[in-house]
Structure formats: structure tokens, C-alpha cells
Amino acid sequence: MSIPASRVTAALARDKLGVWDLMSFTGGSVAPMLVIAGVVTTAFVVTGLIAAPAAFIVFALVLAVWSVGYTGMARHITNAGAMYAFVTRGLGRPLGIAVAMVALVAYNELQVGLYGIFGPSTRDFVNQRLKVSDHWWTSWVVFALIAWAAVAVLGWLKITIPGRVLALLLTAEIAVVLALDVAGVAHPAGGHLSVGTLSPVSLIRAGGGVLGLLAILSFAGFESGAVLSEETRNPRRTVPAATFLILAAAAVVYAGSSWAMAVHYGDGNLVATAGKLGPGMLFTMGGPFLEWASNILLLTSVFAAMVAYHPFVTRYIFALAREGVLPRVFARTNAAGAPVVASTAQTLIGLIVIAGYGAFDHNPLVHLFFWCGTSGGFGALILYTVASFAVIGYFARHPFGESVWVRLVAPGVAGVVLTGLVVLALHNYPTLLGVAPGSPVAFWLPAVYGIVAVAGLLLAGGLRVLRPDLYRAIGLTTPDTDSTPASPQGRRGWPIETPTWQGVDL
């Protein structure tokens, strides 16, 4: 039977990814080696606190509670737009489009920001090993462009191919991290194992809030399995399983590795050692081979995160274009089911960023990696917060198939906690960025999310007036219908109600 051309050019691949495949993408996005070597050591220095292991455990539990409602909604809605579709169905179309704009900025920042560490780190590694420098080909821009080209090629291929690459890199990364942890714990400072860093008490001290924020931002990306839900086998089970498994695995690795460093160097020496060694604090816990392997796997960890975030961005673009919110050309896919136009657009964004930072000689580690990575994580925190209330809104109209814990209690508790964290992050933004209080960058980077959210609201208003038929279909597409909105009875016979507020169609 032939397949209509419209279906071939605007449909993602179906039934390609299982739980472990999905975990390769979400695991790659959280970049364990990068977080442990970079974020944890930075957290020790910035806050002066040593309770990073406790912070990872506490805030993993917060995200676990949040995931209860999020995955509950994922069981009812399968859409490559993920939170765009969730918020649309829970809080209305205007907020859905606004959240989609926030997601595009956040995931783009998380993806392109990684070029700012891959380029300089690869340059330093090559210079150190080959004893070369001051050549055009040793510029950080050249190495960033090599990674950029590889990501571009993988973005056009069948989704299972980058998934296999990520699985291989992630397996090697975790194996070396665990070996370093074992080596660190096997040689404790003072000859005894300290558990002081596992106590959450110090989180209530000055700086504890910032430490908690750095911990929760380190998990950014774990939730993105829903973005690939249309390409998974049995998404009702696959997405929740992958979400909880990668969250638990990341929490164990983060907390375990930061505790191992505390054991190896001693609680009293953690802050000073982090300030002196930086990422080397993790690498030097093992022997020469593990140190060498760690330096390489730090680079592959960054590369894996680039590869993982790329399809997250392109699927959001695809989902918005499929419904006409963005130009429909971005919904075109190739024979492999990859959204090639959206992929090309995200690739061009990366090229422009790399070229711009190189041309103006900005510090890629600080101004690209650290600032964009932190702001991208903050954008993810905003998404988590809004999604909590979207879950409540959706199940208030569809109170079937899920318990009160899933529909109301878990998302309500998570929403309150996450709202507090958003406020705390805004208050401490200069500290998170490492800039002086009152710095313009500490205002404008988070302000970007407000600007794009307002732009999304205005776009929704324009579509409602100028394209009412298109507006009514926003957020209702399902993989069963490709680019056609879901039927009034929904894809599983459950009714789909138009979100309203005081009788007004949202």
C-alpha cells in the first residue's frame, strides 16, 4: 500500500525507541561526567559548602515527585512538542505557545552553550598531548566546528543511529566515573569514611539555596523523553520508565561521585581542593590511565549532550510547524523520519553562535558555556514549574485513569516547591553566573524568557484572530493522525475538551 506524500514529508519515524534507547538520549543530555567534574567542583567553590551529595539526593526527590504528574500526563498525551502540548491541554493555547517559545530558547541554550566548553577543552587536550599551539587549526573554533558538523550529520539520520552513539558514549562514561569513585573511596583521607556531606542540614545555611539550585539544574534534560514519545514503542510505558530510571541513575551517580570526592580529599579540604584542581579533582582520584580516560570522556560527555539536545530542539520546532504555529516547512521529514528542515535550522543557530563568539573573541568557557548553560537550566526549571500546574489543570477536566496523588497532590507539591526555586534563582542569578550584583547580564539573560513568553502570547492572539481554524487545532496533534488534530473523542476514546476560563475559549 502506498503512503501519501503528505505523510512521508511530515511524519516522524514510528516505534523505533525502547526504554534503554530513550535513556541514552536523556542520559546523554544530563552529561554525568561534565556535571561531576564541572558543576560539582564549581558548587564547592561558589557556595563554600560541602553538602553537594545531600543536595543531589534532596532535589532528585523533588523532581521525582514532579515526575509523578508529568509522566501521568505523558501516559495520556503523546506529542513531540511535549510540554507545549501538555500546557496547551492543561492551561490553554496561549500559555502552551508561550511555553513552547521558552522551551526553544532553553534547549537551544543548553545545546549551543556546549560548544563553548568542547572547543577550548579539546584544544587544550590536543595542545598538551601533541605539544603544539599557536596554529590556526588549534583554535577552539575549529574543534567546535568539528563537533558541530558531526551533530549536523547525526541529526539527519534515523533516530536509532544517534541513540546507539549515545549509548556507547554513556556506557563508557559511567564505567570510568564508577571506577574513579571506587578508587576515591578505597583511599579515604585520614583512613576513615566520612558521611558528613550526606547530611542535608547544611542546605539551610547561607549559600545552601544556591547549592540546591546548582543541583537541580544539573538534572536538566532528564524529562525530555516525552519529546521523543512519537518515535518510541509503547510511549505510555516507555516514557515514564525512562524518566524515572534516568533520574534515579543520575541521582546515584551525582551523589555518589561527589561523596567519593569528599571521602578521598576529606571534608575539610573539599573547597580548597576544588578551587585548586577544578575538574582535575575528580580525574586524579584514579591512576594515570583513569586520569587520561577521564579527560577524553569529559569531551565525549559534552559531545553526547550536544547530540542529545539537538533532537529535543528539532522536535519542538517540528511539532509547532506541523500545527502551523511556525512555518510548515519546518515539519518536513526525510525518508529516515528525521525533521531535516528543523534540524538544519538548529544547526545554523549553532554555526552562527560559534562564528559570532569566535569573531568577537568572547570567552567561550564563561560567556558561552557557563552563561548559556546556566540560563538554559533556568529555562528548564521554568518549564518544570508551569508543567506542574498544567497537570492539575488537565486532570481537573479529565479525572479518570489516574489517582489523586498523580492528578493533584504530587504536581501541587512540586509546583509550590519549584515556584520557590524560580524565585530563589532570580534572586541569586548574579551568583549563579559568577558576576557582580547589578550586572546587566544577570538581568537580561533571565529576562529573555519573559520576552519570548510574551511573544508567544501575542502570536497566540494573532492566530486566534487571523487563523481561527488553525488556532483551535493547536496542541491536539497525535502520532495516530500525523498532521491532523485529534478527534473530539481523543486517540484512546477519552474526550478532549477545549480549555476554557469563565466561559472563554482559551
Q: Give, for all 506 residues of the chain, the pLDDT tens digit.
A: 333 333 445 688 888 899 999 999 999 999 999 999 988 988 888 888 889 999 999 999 999 999 999 999 999 999 999 999 999 999 999 999 999 999 999 999 999 999 999 999 998 888 887 776 666 566 899 999 999 999 999 999 999 999 999 999 999 999 999 999 999 999 999 888 888 888 888 777 767 788 888 889 999 999 999 999 999 999 999 999 999 999 999 999 999 999 999 999 999 899 999 989 888 899 999 888 999 999 999 999 999 999 999 999 999 999 999 999 999 999 999 999 999 999 999 999 999 999 999 988 888 988 999 999 999 999 999 999 999 999 999 999 988 889 999 999 999 999 999 999 999 999 999 988 888 999 999 999 999 999 999 999 999 999 999 999 999 989 887 765 444 444 434 333 333 344 444 334 45
Q: Check: CB of residue 203 under 8 Å from CB of residue 46.
A: no
What is the Cα 222 distance to its own chain's centre? 6
Distances (CA, A) of 262 to 196, 213, 251, 354: 9, 20, 16, 36
CA-wise closest residue to 234 among 18, 42, 416, 379: 18
**What whole-number distance in Å separates Cα of residue 237 and Cα of residue 242?**
9
Domains defined along the chain, listed by start = 15-482 (1.20.1740.10)
Q: Check: CB of residue 407 under 8 Å from CB of residue 391.
A: yes
Q: Is the pTM of this model over 0.75?
A: yes
Residue with cell 492539575: 392
